Structure 1
């Protein structure tokens, strides 16, 4: 079969169609490299692409060449040594293809073929990460978030503290008051001055000295009244008034809580990691700042780093309430609900001491849920549910809008469960 490859460039000189064909053709190699990268990287290091190497033997492409038979005439420009009909000696070493020693192998001639390497973009990398989950494009959508109060200016008032005084508005009020208070006095002064000038300009026989003296006294009194108008008065002062205004929080913290008891296998942890990763990417699309807190527990709970969270071999029994108690303490100490949107994702296989499950229920209802934005619990097990699941069902009935729980059996269940958990927050494709 003959293949025709379209190398016509699209915008920015990239052949997008051919790139998609290339990714599809070498999907097996790319998928393997992406899976290795996911296991190697941290959850927060999923925002860059990945370099992928493919053995050179797997990238050969069909080419056109002359078939056997037929008559050909070849003219080599600048040939001074050979004429038509001359026989050319075979090169030393046999064939005319050189002395290659194989695909990517070492040889004493220093020749060989390197593996073909190329880079995946962030979008392509994430597409392979969630391959099989049928992940749609998430559109930015406003979330219902907890609000913090911020004091903002809300007009002016006549009362306030000096630090909030509006100088510009106070001077404007003072200027308007001076104009208003001086205007009638200035009119009276002008009338008195005109009357005095008229009286002085009269014939000496008709002048009235008593009236002239009275007018001069009136003018002096009016000038003193004008000068007595204060430059600024307490009546003129204006102060900025502050009012509380709710501000949506732009930062979130995601708590990853996982059971690491002896019943949690590495496969369970890998499934949990995919779920935590999906939730982290979802939150990152809606908040400017997202912090991660990892809490692992068996009979006791500890806050750890991501590497220890997923790959530590420490095991033991199971007391889930130890993790919830530690979680509540971390929130009170570092993440006040008025400033942070709090999300919790818990992964477990469902095992727990029977007496402890009721304690977990009470901790969630009385302490944690009033502070949290959302709580997602996934139980990774193909078996029947145990006491922890049944107690969590009581919490879900009490906080139906903010508490969700689902069961996972294999990696392919992750996205359908995620979509169900966050269906109120996902936009309709």
Structure 2
């Protein structure tokens, strides 16, 4: 019998190669399971792995075994008490039980469904693949970096306000020690000795010192004069001693961001349209989560009225009504003012709608965006979700929706504002091409 043994080593005891081969073989089933998971999980859970279940019948692997038909084989059956030479052995039943069916089977075997856990990177790879994200853009990030002043050592020039007293005095002390500048105590000691000798001379009848004392006095006077001269020539603080604190600007990316999710939930938005909007919001949340340490998500849904809601209400509430888009923009403006100061938060917004709007509301929407929202946002993306059958109609200028006509002039002059139409999941990526690109010019080529 032929045996084939794969002796290739797996890294650190993990079956990485086997796992990758398994995922390639069951890719279609895993992708289907991920799509189902995306429909049921929350937006903030997109950055985690997930457990997927695939049918056991899809896990069959090729293998070597003896053919049931044909060929001559000799068997050695030790301890056989039932058969003798020349007996005919019945062929095994090929219609054994399986994993499915509702009837019992007396023999045969099968396999249940197989469940395993996808890692975070594996889940995101499949999620990105569904959105047709190029590999080169999956890891790139848009640079939204602020700058702050940071200490950068010392400088010999600067303003008095930046003078470093400790470093200046340290340099002064080192210079005075190196040049042997006389200390004040040394000069005072010389003066005391001279005064003592002069008083001694005044007490003598002749008013003069002895020859040794007189020589000593002249030597002390010479030392005192030399010490005072050296003290004057070696200043206590010299300009070469001064040091100033130096500062330079370094990148300081903000560590927190807020994402506003605005969606039209009027009667014209179907469940399929809401599903595409959810995928768009998932991808934007994932980008922000990778870029910033802390991400807040604010959900605003609107009909003819707008309100901030939780995620469950945002996607699954049955409330419906007319369509006035400016109410959602006003609610976003209010939340920004109350909770998210622009000097502490990076602000992103994503709006999903089918393009319908009250006829007299377009000018108000444009004014709110241009004057109040876009100046505070790093990026504002609007996706218009349309039915595939309507895509060709809306592609023409005369077929544009009311909201698209209001937003288009503003997007043409503001690089922070992007408009895209979406008809299926694969169409979501063009909105993110500019957001993920480091250079906007490259994104548009």
Q: TM-score range with shorter-chain normalisation?
A: 0.7 to 0.9
Partner residue in 2 for 1:315: 320
Could you list the per-position Cα deviations for residues 358-397 of structure 1 after superposition, in whole angstroms to 9, with x for gaps in the alignment? 1111111111111111111111123532332222122113
Q: How far apart in 1 are the matches of 2:328 and 2:130?
A: 32
Task: Tell me which of 286, 300, 303 is aligned to 2:305.
Answer: 300
CA distance in 1, matches of 2:273, 2:323: 15
Instruction: Give the 3-state SS of the residue equivalent to 1:350 in structure 2.
Output: coil
CA contact (8 A) 1:150 1:247 kept: no
Match of 1:103 in 2: 99
1:408 aligns with 2:422: yes
TM-score normalised over the length of structure 1: 0.74
Partner secondary structure for residue 273 of structure 1: helix
Corresponding position of 2:169: 170
C-alpha separation between the residues in 2 aligned to 1:96 and 1:166? 97
Q: 1:389 to 1:226 in 2, by over 3 A?
A: same
Distance 1:393 1:418 in 2: 18
CA distance in 1, matches of 2:22, 2:401: 49
Looking at structure 1, the residues matched to 84 and 311 of structure 2 have their Cα atoms a distance apart, in angstroms, of: 74
Query: Secondary structure of the residue that 1:391 maps to in structure 2?
Result: helix
Residue aligning to 1:202: none
SS across alignment from 2:252:
strand
State the distance in 1 between where 2:338 and 2:214 align: 88
Structure 2: 5+ residue stretches without partners: 194-209
CA deviations 1:28-55 (Å, max 9, x no partner) are x334322221112112212333333333
What's 1:117 paired with?
115
Q: How far apart, in 1, do the equivalents of 2:310 and 2:59 lie? A: 41
Q: For the residues of structure 2 that align with 1:34 and 1:426, how far apart are their CA atoms?
A: 34
Q: Which residue of 1 aligns with 2:200?
A: none
Please say if 1:213 is aligned against 2:211: no
CA distance in structure 1 between the aligned counterparts of 2:338 and 2:235, rounded to whole angstroms = 54
Q: Tell me whether 1:386 sits opposite 2:421 in the alignment.
A: no
Q: How does 1:52-63 map onto structure 2 within 5 Å?
A: 52-61=52-61
Distance 1:390-1:56 versus aligned 2 partners, 3 A rule: closer
CA distance in 1, matches of 2:231, 2:101: 104
Structure 2 CA distance for aligned equivalents of residues 366 and 96 of structure 1: 81
SS in 2 for 1:370: helix
Separation in 1, partners of 2:294, 2:441: 19
1:345 aligns with 2:350: yes
Mapped partners of 2:299, 2:375: distance in 1: 21
Greater displacement, 300-309 / 227-236: 227-236
The equivalent residue for 1:201 is none
In structure 1, runs of 5+ residues without a counterpart are 194-205
Greater shift after overlay, 151-160 or 219-228? 219-228
CA 1:50–1:295 in structure 2 vs 1: closer, same or farther (change >3 Å)? same
In the aligned structure 1, how far is the partner of 2:282 from the partner of 2:421? 17
Higher mean C-alpha displacement, 218-227 vs 244-253: 218-227
CA RMSD in angstroms comes to 4.6
CA displacement, residues 264-302 of structure 1 (integer Å, 9 cap, x when unaligned): 121111011111222233344444444322222222222
- In structure 2, C-alpha distance between the alignment counterparts of 1:291 and 1:232, rounded to whole Å: 58
CA 1:54/1:373 → structure 2, altered by over 3 Å: closer, same or farther?
closer
TM-score by length of 2: 0.72
